[in-house]
Amino acid sequence: EIVLTQSPGTLSLSPGERATLSCRASQSVAKSYIAWYQQKPGQAPRLLIYGASSRATGIPDRFSGSGSGTDFTLTINRLEPEDFAVFYCQQYGSSPLTFGGGTKVEIK
């Protein structure tokens, strides 16, 4: 099973700043099959990125993903008030599908 470790646990930033979130895998993720999700309180997760760097339908271009092998990054440029939430990475390169523990992006 691939274990995903997200860091930092919490990121305190102001609107307009850039957020850089890390997701490290315990072994190489096949084909860079990494997805990123945003979850707000009381809501289901929302798909942001798949295939490490492809934005899902309707996702603003301030969200971008990168990485390969075991190290992946989600970058949010110019944070908007609605971006503050918890973010999860997920690998789908091998079974079982697994998620990271999440990074909370909070308003500073």
Partner 1 sequence: QVQLQESGPGLVKPSGTLSLTCAVSGGSMRGSNWWSWVRQPPGKGLEWIGEILHSGKTNYNPSLKSRVTISVDESKNQFSLRLTSVAAADTAVYYCAREGGSQLGYFETWGQGAPVTVAS
The encoded tokens of residue 91 equal 């690998």
Q: Which of 17, 70, 94, 104 binds partner 1 (CB under 8 A)?
A: 94
Question: If binding is defined by CB under 8 A, does position 65 make contact with partner 1?
Answer: no
Dist. CA 23–CA 71, nearest whole Å:
6
Dist. CA 100–CA 78, nearest whole Å:
24
Give 76 or 89: the residue with its C-beta nearer to partner 1. Answer: 89
Q: What is the closest distance, in whole angstroms, from the C-beta atom of residue 102 to partner 1 in the complex? A: 5
Of the candidates 93, 106, 105, the one whose C-alpha atom is nearest the C-alpha of residue 37 is 105
Give 58 or 81: the residue with its C-beta nearer to partner 1. Answer: 58
Question: If binding is defined by CB under 8 A, does position 102 make contact with partner 1?
Answer: yes
Residues 58 and 46 sit within 8 Å (Cβ to Cβ): no
Dist. CA 12–CA 45, nearest whole Å:
21
Give 17 or 39: the residue with its C-beta nearer to partner 1. Answer: 39
Instruction: List residues binding partner 1 (CB under 8 A).
Output: 1, 33, 35, 37, 43-47, 50, 56, 88, 90, 92, 94-102
